[in-house]
Amino acid sequence: MPRHATHVPHGVIPAVLLPFDNDFAIDEASFRKHLRDVAAVEGLSAITINAHSTEVASCAFDEQRRVLEIAQDEIGGRLPLINGIWADGSIEAARLARMAAQGAASALLVFPPAPFTLGQSPAMVLTHFRRIADATDLPLIVFQYPLATGQGYPKETLLKLCEEIPSIRAIKDWIANVPHHEWHIRTLQNLPRPVNVLTTHSSWLFSSLVLGCNGLLSGSGSVIADLQAKLFRAVQKNDMAEAKRLNDRIEPTARVFYADPFVDMHNRMKEALVLLGKLPRAVVRPPLVRIERAEIGAIRQALIEAGLLDKSARDAA
C-alpha cells in the first residue's frame, strides 16, 4: 500500500528538477539534497517526480524507477509523491503505472500521448486512461494541455473521462485560455465526484488562483516553493494585499523562467538553483542545451528582484 493511500491531489505541489553529472548520469547526491530542500518548505501537499521538470522524456524506465526510489528514501515518509506517466502507448503507460504503485507513489500524473497531436477521439482517450486505471487504483491527475497542441482534451471528452474513470481526482490545468480555465474550475470542482483543478499557469499564477483553483502543480516550485505556498495561502484567506505583494516577488522569476523558447523553462530553473548555491551545475540532457551567459545574467537579476539573491551577487560571474 502507498504510504499516503488516501491522498487526494490538492494544495501546493512543486515538481522537482533532476540534476545530472557532466556525463549526463543522474547526480543522486544532488537530487537527494534538492528533494530535502524543497520538501522542507512549509505548506506543501505533495511533490511531483518523473515529469517535465525531471526531463522525463530523456529518462529510461529504470531511471524513472530509480528517481522514485530515491524520492521515497529521502522524503516519502514526509510527503506524498506524485509520479508522472509519460508514454506514447497505453501499454507502456500501464507498465509505468504498475511500477509507480509498487514504488509506493500516492498518485499519478498522466501526460497525454504524443500521437494525439495527429488527432484523437473520445474512445482513444478513454482507452488510454482505462488501461492505466486497470493497472492501479492510485488517484489519477489528467494533464490538460492547450487544445491547439492536439493533446488537450475537449470539454465533452474531459467530462466523459471524469464520469467513467472514478480514480480521476484532479487535473493539472495548462489549457492556457482564461475562460476555458475558469470553466474547468467551476465545472470539475462541482461535479458529484469533485475533480480538483491544479493550475500550472505559472506565468500568471496569481490570476489563476484567484479564479478558485484547489491547488497548483508547478515546476517553478523547484525554486520558489515557499513563495508559491504563501501565495496560495493568502488567496485562500482572501488576503489580496498580501497576495499581490507575493505576486510582485514571483513575477520576475516567471518572466525569465517562461520566456521564449518555452522548452528551456526547467533549464533556467536549474541555472537559478546554481546561482542560489543549491545545485553544483545546470547540466541538461540533449536535445536540450545550456542557455547562454546573457540569459543566466537575466536570471540572476530576477532572483535579486524577487529577494532571493543578495544584491552583491549582481556582478558575480
Residues 6+ apart with CB under 8 A from 14: 38, 41, 44, 47, 48, 218, 219, 221, 222, 225, 228
Of 52, 113, 118, 123, nearest in space to 84 by CA: 52
- Considering Cα of 288, then 289, then 291, then 292, what sign does the dihedral take? negative
**Confidence category of residue 187, pLDDT binned at 50, 70, 90:** very high
Within a 10 A sphere around the Cβ of 218, how many other Cβ atoms? 26
Of 169, 5, 189, 10, nearest in space to 101 by CA: 5
Q: What is the pTM of this model?
A: 0.96
Per-residue confidence (pLDDT) for residue 315, from 0 to 100: 52
Sheet containing strand 107-110, strands side by side: 11-14, 215-218, 196-199, 168-173, 140-144, 107-110, 81-85, 47-49
Q: Residue written as cell 492510485? A: 138
Please write the tens of the pLDDT for every residue from 201-217: 999 999 999 999 999 99
Of 118, 165, 124, nearest in space to 142 by CA: 165
Please write the tens of the pLDDT for every residue from 264-302: 999 999 999 999 999 999 999 999 999 999 999 999 999
Per-residue confidence (pLDDT) for residue 311, from 0 to 100: 74
Cell of 260: 521564449
Residue 236 has pLDDT above 80, yes or no: yes
Per-residue confidence (pLDDT) for residue 52, from 0 to 100: 97
* CA distances (Å), origin 307, targets 45, 204, 206, 246, 304: 24, 19, 18, 11, 5
Task: Provide the angle, in degrees to the nearest 10, between the axes of the packed helices 265-275 and 240-257.
Answer: 100
Is residue 232 a contact partner of residue 216, using CB atoms and an 8 Å limit? yes
3-state secondary structure of 311: helix
**Confidence category of residue 6, pLDDT binned at 50, 70, 90:** confident
Of 149, 64, 160, nearest in space to 109 by CA: 64
Q: Residue written as cell 465526484? A: 193
Of 45, 80, 6, nearest in space to 216 by CA: 45
- CA–CA distance, 206 with 239 (Å, rounded to integer): 12
- CA–CA distance, 168 with 194 (Å, rounded to integer): 9
Of 274, 308, 277, 271, nearest in space to 291 by CA: 271
Is residue 301 a contact partner of residue 315, using CB atoms and an 8 Å limit? no
Q: Residue written as cell 491522498? A: 7
What CATH topology corresponds to 11-237? TIM Barrel (3.20.20)
Cell of 20: 545530472
Q: Identity (one letter) of the amino acid at 16?
A: V
- Considering Cα of 193, then 178, then 206, then 15, what sign does the dihedral take? positive
The dihedrals phi and psi of 238, each to the nearest 5 degrees, come to 60, 30
Q: Residue written as cell 475558469? A: 182
Residue 1 has pLDDT above 90, yes or no: no
Residue extents of the structural domains in the chain? 11-237
Q: Residue written as cell 493511500? A: 5
Q: Identity (one letter) of the amino acid at 174?
A: W
**Confidence category of residue 7, pLDDT binned at 50, 70, 90:** confident
Per-residue confidence (pLDDT) for residue 80, from 0 to 100: 98
Length of the chain in residues, anyone?
317
Is residue 211 a contact partner of residue 179, using CB atoms and an 8 Å limit? no
Please write the tens of the pLDDT for every residue from 153-181: 999 999 999 999 999 999 999 999 999 99
